[in-house]
Structure 1
Amino acid sequence: MARLLAGERWDLVFNIAEGLRGIGREAQVPALLDAYDIPYTFSDPLVMALSLHKGMTKRVLRGLGIPTPDFVVIEDLGDLRELALPYPVFVKPVAEGTGKGITAGSKIGDPSELFRRCAELLRDFRQGVLVETFLPGREFTVGLVGTGRSARCVGLMEVILKDNADRAGYTYANKENYEERVIYRRVDDAAARAAAAIALRAYLGLGCRDAGRVDLRVDLNGVPNFIEINPLAGLHPKHSDLPILCTLNGITYHDLIGEILASATARTEPHRQVRDHPTAPSAVAIAALGKRDAWLQ
């Protein structure tokens, strides 16, 4: 902010900022850059704010006909009286990432257990709790790059839990200890191709830009269901899912970053040509406001 107020401007900001506080935290830096008419990578404030709220995202995508598990958002424990989902259910904070709040106890088998877990999450995270039908099938994560008609799937991997992993799913502990607990496998079968197609529909339906990642899980009928999307996917070359799945699919880290920059440049170039901007060498800044390792997820 100090640099902006001092008059600095850039042709493109490579935005990896997750923000600091609140449910709109990932929209903070994009909104600030929009206010100063500075182009940046990845999605706009609307997409960032919407996609962080898992319940709102699912409502929008369900309206587009994209399969996603039945769900409710619990804002206080009294909301549980209206719950009509069959057990087991899966619970997690409605607006967190990197598996935060997802543990071995996130798969819930009865009402008393659900009450206890929702009380813990409401207390610890101070936000709503997403309760959704538990899906027992395979789990995929899909990487996407591009914007609009140029958007495409660049790779998919199946997340397979080892015997020593939390059995509830891709929990925070499983992610943090993936080398010991998880197998990432490149797959290309009917279910994987269906997952990739659904992921692309979700990415386009929400208006994501430049790159992102979609998580899906297969239901009892063999249909991949949307679980959540990350339009600001982590970019650590060895620990983040998007670079990992790209590597599995033959795309180098250098090429992934190049794809992101190419997409951002292509969509912002016409805008730059009409802006009142000093004639100077292209400048690229990196916005990384937030936790020191926020971009690692």
Structure 2
Amino acid sequence: MKAGITYDSKSTYLQNGFTKEEVAEFDSDETIEGIENALQTLGFTTERIGNIGELTKALTAGNRWDIVFNIAEGVYGIGREAQVPALLDAYKIPYVFSDPLVLCLTLHKGITKHVVRDCGIPTAPFKVVETMTDLKKVNLNYPLFIKPVAEGTGKGISGKSLIKTQKELAQWTEVLLEQFKQPVLVEEYLPGREFTVGIIGTGEQASAIGIMEVHIVDKSEDAIYSLFNKENYETRVEYSLPEKGVSKLCYKVALDAWRALGCMDGGRVDLRMDKNGVPNFIEVNPLAGLNPIHSDLPILSYKAGITYLELIERIMKSATQRLNLQMPKPCLQEVR
């Protein structure tokens, strides 16, 4: 079975003048190699396609694949994560992970929280601020937490995101509006423990494969799981396995959100407890990072006893079953 791989290469964009923050969500050569090696071990013949521009050229030249492993985040527009799957849909080419509707919805954190809240899943009270005049409508309880409405990997999040006064809210909301050219999500701050849950599967077939608690150990910069702390996680972050009772509560909230939003095949749901110890939905990552060493989903999988190869195998089994395709015979006699 021929599998294409679509991705946005971090090194390529850096060479083309993008900043480190602009490419924070994009994939390293190490990530692409890890995915390709795993797919080949599982019996797939692979082809590196690249970003949407390179995909467009390949399709125009007549190239086709039995399935595409899509981790392309896109560059421009609120629908950037949905562009590759939408193009593949137009050519009737099957792909791994969520469809355009899900990826458009979940990139916008505010609309995602509307859906989650309407489905009865706990999430912090919030407002979406599109202009500074919208701050008049923010009637939430302090402290607050603010972030760009459509960024990932902690972009736009720092110690300044924790807001304690109306003056701070105005000051830092204006900064984010100007810097990211998109609305700002303002929500009541959740003071409790923070978790991320790994999920494999689609709909009723989805299951939680692992969980880890996030601890910021070096608080000299900030105590937030920010872009800075994620990039320096070796010295600033520790991950642990929570108690079984806590894990069970988190699994339910994460799975309820995953199914309500229609996510497919694999990803992560981030949670944080409120003052009463109730896990609340923060956001979902339907295109979760898959770096074999640094990404949260592989890390929590390792803690659950799942190797990187097994993780990719489970993702591919979910996708091929959903698409009524047959998995190839693996290169190894038995995959572990």
Fold shared, TM-score > 0.5 on shorter chain: yes
> Which of residues 70, 73, 76 is equivalent to 1:18?
73
> Which of residues 200, 213, 234 is equivalent to 2:268?
213
Q: Which runs of 4+ in 1 moved over 4 A?
A: none
Cα offset for 1:166? 4.1
Matched residue, 2:121: 66
**Cα 1:216–1:165, aligned 2, differ >3 Å: closer, same or farther?**
farther
Cα offset for 1:168? 4.1
Say if 2:230 is the partner of 1:169.
no
In the alignment, residue 260 of structure 1 is paired with which amino acid?
Answer: I
In the alignment, residue 111 of structure 1 is paired with which amino acid?
Answer: Q
CA distances 1:139-186 after superposition (whole Å, capped 9, x unpaired): 000000011221100000000110335444211111110010000112
State the identity as a percent. Answer: 58
Matched residue, 2:196: 141
In the alignment, residue 230 of structure 2 is paired with which amino acid?
Answer: K
Matched residue, 2:244: 189
> Which of residues 155, 168, 173 is equivalent to 1:113?
168
> Which of residues 301, 307, 316 is equivalent to 1:246?
301
Asked if 2 retains the 8 angstrom alpha-carbon contact of 1:139 and 1:218, the reply is yes
CA distances 1:66-110 after superposition (whole Å, capped 9, x unpaired): 000000000000000111001100000000000000001110000
In the alignment, residue 134 of structure 1 is paired with which amino acid?
Answer: Y
Asked if 2 retains the 8 angstrom alpha-carbon contact of 1:237 and 1:253, the reply is yes
Cα offset for 1:126? 0.1
Normalised TM-score (structure 1)? 0.89
Q: Give the distance between the partners of 1:110 and 1:61, measured in 2 at CA.
A: 28
Greater length-normalized contact order (CA 8 Å, ≥ 6 residues apart): 1
Cα offset for 1:239? 0.9
Helix, strand or coil for the counterpart of 2:160?
Answer: coil
Q: Aligned-residue CA RMSD in angstroms? A: 1.4
Q: Give the distance between the partners of 1:72 and 1:168, measured in 2 at CA.
A: 23
Matched residue, 1:159: 214
Matched residue, 1:290: none
Q: Give the distance between the partners of 1:251 and 1:72, measured in 2 at CA.
A: 38
For structure 2, the residue ranges without an aligned partner over 5 or more in a row are 1-55, 330-336
Matched residue, 1:289: none
Matched residue, 2:92: 37
Say if 2:156 is the partner of 1:101.
yes
Q: Give the distance between the partners of 2:141 and 2:204, measured in 1 at CA.
A: 39
Matched residue, 2:60: 5
Q: Give the distance between the partners of 2:148 and 2:321, measured in 1 at CA.
A: 36
In the alignment, residue 118 of structure 2 is paired with which amino acid?
Answer: G
Number of aligned residue pairs: 273
Asked if 1 retains the 8 angstrom alpha-carbon contact of 2:194 and 2:273, the reply is yes
Matched residue, 1:77: 132
Matched residue, 2:141: 86
**Cα 1:52–1:129, aligned 2, differ >3 Å: closer, same or farther?**
same
Helix, strand or coil for the counterpart of 2:115?
Answer: helix
Q: Give the distance between the partners of 1:165 and 1:140, measured in 2 at CA.
A: 21
> Which of residues 52, 57, 62 is equivalent to 2:112?
57
Say if 2:299 is the partner of 1:229.
no
In the alignment, residue 81 of structure 2 is paired with which amino acid?
Answer: E
Q: Give the distance between the partners of 2:220 and 2:126, measured in 1 at CA.
A: 25
Asked if 2 retains the 8 angstrom alpha-carbon contact of 1:141 and 1:159, the reply is yes
In the alignment, residue 171 of structure 2 is paired with which amino acid?
Answer: R
Q: Give the distance between the partners of 2:223 and 2:157, measured in 1 at CA.
A: 9
Asked if 2 retains the 8 angstrom alpha-carbon contact of 1:143 and 1:154, the reply is yes
In the alignment, residue 94 of structure 2 is paired with which amino acid?
Answer: P
For structure 1, the residue ranges without an aligned partner over 5 or more in a row are 273-280, 283-297
Mean Cα displacement is larger for which, 167-176 or 100-109? 167-176
